[in-house]
Amino acid sequence: MRTPRPAGGILSYFTRHGTVSNLLLVLLLVAGLAAIPNMRAQFFPDVIVDNVSVGVRWDGAGAEDVDKAIVQVLDPVLLAVEGVESSQATSREGSARIRLEFEPGWDMSRAADDVQSAVDAVTTLPEDSDAPSVTRGTWRDRVTDVVVTGPVAVDQLARFADELVVRLFAVGVTRATISGVAAPETVVEVPAANLIAHDVTMQQIAEAIAEEVDADPAGDVSGGGARVRTGVEKRSAAQIAAIVLRSDPDGSTLRVGDVAQVRVQGVDRESGFFVGDNPAMTIRIDRSDQGDAIGIQRDVEDVARAFQATLPEGVSIDLIRTRAEAITGRLNILMENGLSGLLMVVALLFLFLNARTALWVAAGIPTSMLAAIALMYAFGITINMISLFALIITLGIVVDDAIVVGEHADSRARKGEEPFAAAENAARRMALPVVSATLTTVIAFFGLTAISGRFGEMIADIPFTVITVLLASLVECFFILPNHMAHSLRHAQARPWYDWPSRTVNRGFRWVRDRLFRPLISGVIAARYAVIAAAVVLLASQAALLIRGDVPWRFFNSPEQPSVSGNFAMAPGATRADTLEMMREMQRATEALGKQ
């Protein structure tokens, strides 16, 4: 048999020079394996938050006063800042917050500076209000929540939570936020009946306390070595209760403690956490900018396990909302699907092609995946739920190109072509259709990059990941596979014993093709008008399901949630004890429902 003269070109070069194709294969594999341990794992990709918040404190002012004197003054000025799309303002007793949403893709560093300049230009805010604070929105990627609970006092739980945070800092977990406890504060509660009985107002009480709690600076002596302050600071609950509100003509005095209850508390008045009847503290663990969610989760588990051994009996530490487990679960899905797909490809190709061809075609799966991972690392893409989803959906695509080229090379070799010529001609013959099909898929996914806004930024990893996998598959298919196919076809000419299954299956396949499939297709062609009509009717019936609404359209399917939330609002004047009692009643109802 005459060996065809090798044609020139890059495909011929890689087909007939095994060293080059093998070097490329090793380069792709090594690059991917080297990138894997260096890639960060996180739940969601990093997203730029397009908002800036402005906060102003005005102690002692009611919500209506805050809205009139602060929000209505700042809001028009801030809306005039370039790039602002909308604003959302909240007025509370003693504070105001305005959140500004900017146009997608706006330079947020410039936006924060512009907002600060606009705020500085406002000179009509109340004199006794604090200076406005401008805060740029930041993306916080939660890793897990740690719950510390037990039959102990809240202040004791707070000390346990502080100690746990210190230990987490020691191992590099630097973003930990404690909820359920607040800095100790003195609370003055005045029943309305006492105000009427003693003929005083809340304003008088507030002014009297404000005059006494702080000492005023009065200069320094001895060349600045010591400072002099006038007045006496009264900060403790007993000292505040002893502040005189009024001196009557008969010599008696009315003190704060006579009309109000003064106490010091360290419990967060805005939120509280309970596990059963026991109080609890929660510690939110967030990933730092360069942190790895899986590594942070592992560190938190180790620290919590070691700290649990030092706690009193009954006090427990539990981890909830562990997002790292979701990342690990999706990684396991990727590995399991990849391995099962690899085995299925090898098994099926082993039955229809020779064994060596099956192995080299199946090798395209790990090669393409590792090459794509190397490119992802080079361009800053992390391992997250979005990029893992993209890798999973490409598992069934990457091997198609190699199967087409490998099968065509095997077919040409069976017709008598020399192995290297068969592999080279198969690559040339399949180059246009395979590249065209791949580019069609690339263009389809590239369209996702046109989606703007927060959602577009969230899914940006999908098109990039899919495109890199497909391009890596093309490289493996045309620059690596043909040389190995040529060697496989050359060994197959000796008809080794391990190719017996493929020879047997192919004989049966030819029988099915000639005795069953060919007569069926002949009948379809003969009744082509009836077949076309049936296809049109079937297509119309499926379209009718959508038109009638039998198949509803949803942007997102709502998955079943593993938790139940309940909300209630207390009437004005309700105490914290009333709120806690209502919360326990709701908890009892929930537990009773769960037993049914």
The full set of domains in the chain, from first to last, is 10-36+326-494 (1.20.1640.10), 51-136 (3.30.70.1430), 141-214+230-323 (3.30.2090.10)
User: How far, in Å, CA of 482 to CA of 206, rounded?
Assistant: 86
Helix (H) or strand (E) holding 316: strand 316-320
Query: What DSSP state is assigned to residue 478?
Result: I
Question: Which residues, including other chains, have CB under 8 Å from residue 308's CB and lie 6 or more apart?
Answer: 316, 317
Helix (H) or strand (E) holding 502: helix 500-512
User: How far, in Å, CA of 197 to CA of 507, rounded?
Assistant: 106
- Looking at residue 228, its pLDDT comes to 38
What angle is formed at CA 376 by the lines to CA 371 and CA 382, rounded to 5 degrees? Answer: 135
User: How far, in Å, CA of 544 to CA of 414, rounded?
Assistant: 48
**Longest CA–CA separation in the chain, Å:** 130
DSSP states along 514-547: IIIIHHHHHHHHHTHHHHHHHHHHHHHHHHHHHH
Question: Which residues, including other chains, have CB under 8 Å from residue 482's CB and lie 6 or more apart?
Answer: 11, 14, 15, 21, 405, 409, 423, 424, 426, 427
Tallying the residues shown for the chain, one arrives at 596
- Looking at residue 31, its pLDDT comes to 93
- pTM: predicted TM-score of the whole model, two decimal places: 0.67
Give the residue from 397, 360, 390 showing the smallest Cα distance to 373: 390
User: How far, in Å, CA of 8 to CA of 549, rounded?
Assistant: 58
C-beta separation of 568 from 586 below 8 A: yes
- The tens digit of pLDDT for each residue in 359-373 reads 888 888 889 889 999
Residue carrying structure tokens 């014993």: 497
In tens digits, what is the pLDDT along the chain, a chain of 596 residues?
444 445 568 888 888 888 898 999 999 999 999 998 888 888 878 777 778 999 998 887 888 888 888 999 999 999 989 888 888 998 888 889 999 988 877 888 888 899 999 998 888 888 888 889 998 877 777 888 999 999 988 878 888 988 999 999 988 888 888 887 765 667 788 888 888 888 888 888 888 887 776 544 444 444 444 343 434 454 677 888 888 888 878 778 888 888 888 877 655 556 678 887 888 888 999 887 777 888 888 899 999 999 999 988 889 999 988 888 888 888 888 788 778 877 887 788 777 777 777 788 888 888 988 999 999 999 888 888 888 888 888 877 887 888 888 888 888 888 888 888 888 888 899 889 999 989 999 999 998 888 877 777 788 889 999 999 999 999 998 999 899 888 888 876 666 766 677 778 878 888 988 899 999 999 999 999 999 999 999 999 999 988 888 888 776 676 677 777 788 887 777 777 788 888 888 888 888 877 77
- Looking at residue 182, its pLDDT comes to 60
DSSP states along 286-301: EE-TT--HHHHHHHHH
Give the residue from 481, 484, 332, 338 showing the smallest Cα distance to 397: 338
Burial class of residue 219 (count of CB atoms within 10 Å of its CB; 0-12, 13-18, 19+): exposed
C-beta separation of 149 from 275 below 8 A: yes
User: How far, in Å, CA of 509 to CA of 434, rounded?
Assistant: 25
Classified as helix, coil or strand, 368 is: helix
- Looking at residue 517, its pLDDT comes to 92
C-beta separation of 551 from 545 below 8 A: yes
Burial class of residue 562 (count of CB atoms within 10 Å of its CB; 0-12, 13-18, 19+): exposed
User: How far, in Å, CA of 245 to CA of 258, rounded?
Assistant: 9
User: How far, in Å, CA of 49 to CA of 42, rounded?
Assistant: 17
Q: Which two tokens stand for residue 233?
A: 């600071």
* Helix, strand, coil fractions of the chain, as percent rounded to 5: 60, 15, 25
Pairing of strands 278-287, 226-230: unpaired
Classified as helix, coil or strand, 210 is: helix
User: How far, in Å, CA of 260 to CA of 188, rounded?
Assistant: 6
Query: What DSSP state is assigned to residue 37?
Result: G
C-beta separation of 280 from 157 below 8 A: yes
Give the residue from 61, 128, 127, 124 showing the smallest Cα distance to 96: 61
- Looking at residue 541, its pLDDT comes to 93
C-beta separation of 171 from 300 below 8 A: no
